[in-house]
Amino acid sequence: MKRRKFLKKSSLSTAGIISAPILTSCKTDSKAEVPITPTTITKPIVIATWNVPNSTAEAWKVLEKNGSALDAVEAGVKMEEADVNNQSVGKGGRPDRDGNVTLDACIMDQNGNCGAVVYMQNVTHAVSVARKVMEDTPHVMLAGKSAEKFAYEKGFPKENLLTEKSKAEWLEWKKESKYAPVINIENHDTIGMLAIDEKGDISGACTTSGMAYKMAGRIGDSPIIGSGLFVDNEIGGATATGQGEEIVKTVGSFLVVELMRQGRSPQEACEEAVNRIIKNDPNFKDIQVGYIAVNKNGETGGYCIHPGFSYRIFSEKGHENNISASYLKV
């Protein structure tokens, strides 16, 4: 994955007078509710936030053997969780401001089942623990030490997630920052993945180490069903990356799916969800948010506030695309 080096340091309450944005192609007119009529899915598809060829290829390996979308998204995002070079997900993730790497993840299947872990330390594959929460408990979310204990009970190994590289960067940040949180405009590498399998079933997963140098205990959108991820097997799925606070405030991924239910294309739905954020936040120029979506027909879309966000689609062997998402023109 291409690393985005630039980290903008700023307080969460950055003030500023922002001129009115011009949307590139965002629809704001209301449309009659026109449910999607699925055409026959001729082939599976996987779509993921960011240029993550290893992850989409891994998911594809599952789909091409007629595996389930659920298995595909889990296998796909695990690649990023294990990759220490991805400093926004899993092992090697940037720590919170106290130096602890804490992971958030969720997963959702074609039947509306879901599982999540938040603020979990010392276990690399947060998405798989989230799946265990979904499948082996009557709950949808476990947090912190209890999530970690549950993971060990399920056989996950204890690991140190803080790499020397992330530790050295954190120590540098501590010297300069006076504990101001970092708002990332470009460095958002949360992995959200959606897949449709041979049967036409849709599942999704989302995993992150969250905002770099966040306050201890802070949870973003990524593990929150409806915010960082939402799947409705009749309609489609959506997932997000970027500043979680803004995504949570607008229940972003649920919004994208509901807009698709009302007849918007995946692209139009992502645009409208970004539009909701910038309408509510006069400081939107300081933040990045990106959405991707797929509908039941396998049509895809992606949109973000600032240039730099891309997503990867794998829909046929030998046919992978990395697409630079269109963005708000301000």
Contacts of 126 (CB under 8 A, 6+ apart): 81, 90, 103, 104, 105, 117, 120, 207
Q: Which of 49, 56, 102, 190 is catalytic?
A: 190
Task: In whole angstroms, give the CA distance from residue 246 to residue 20.
Answer: 18
- Surface-to-core class of residue 138, CB atoms within 10 Å of its CB (0-12 exposed, 13-18 middle, 19+ buried): exposed
CB of 247 to ligand ASP, least distance (A): 6
Task: In whole angstroms, give the CA distance from residue 10 to residue 296.
Answer: 40
User: Cα 288 to chain center, whole Å?
Assistant: 13
CB of 34 to ligand ASP, least distance (A): 31
Q: Which is nearer to ligand ASP, 222 or 275 (CB)?
A: 222
Q: Which is nearer to ligand ASP, 222 or 253 (CB)?
A: 222
- Nearest alpha-carbon partner for 185 in 23, 25, 327: 327
Q: Which is nearer to ligand ASP, 114 or 196 (CB)?
A: 114
Q: Which is nearer to ligand ASP, 208 or 326 (CB)?
A: 208
Task: In whole angstroms, give the CA distance from residue 44 to residue 230.
Answer: 19
CB of 292 to ligand ASP, least distance (A): 12
Contact status, residue 123 vs residue 231, Cβ threshold 8 Å: no
Whether 137 is a known active-site residue: answer no
Report residue 189 as tokens: 């590498």
DSSP class of residue 69 equals: H
CB of 243 to ligand ASP, least distance (A): 6
Q: Which residue has the tokens 């598809």?
A: 45
DSSP class of residue 112 equals: S
DSSP class of residue 284 equals: G
Q: Which is nearer to ligand ASP, 55 or 110 (CB)?
A: 55
* Bridge pairing between strands 141-143 and 191-196: unpaired
CB of 39 to ligand ASP, least distance (A): 32
Neighbours of 321 (CB within 10 A): 13
Question: Which positions lie near ligand ASP, rule CB under 6 A?
Answer: 88, 184, 188, 190, 208, 210-211, 220-222, 241-244
Q: Which is nearer to ligand ASP, 56 or 184 (CB)?
A: 184
> Which residues are known to be catalytic?
190
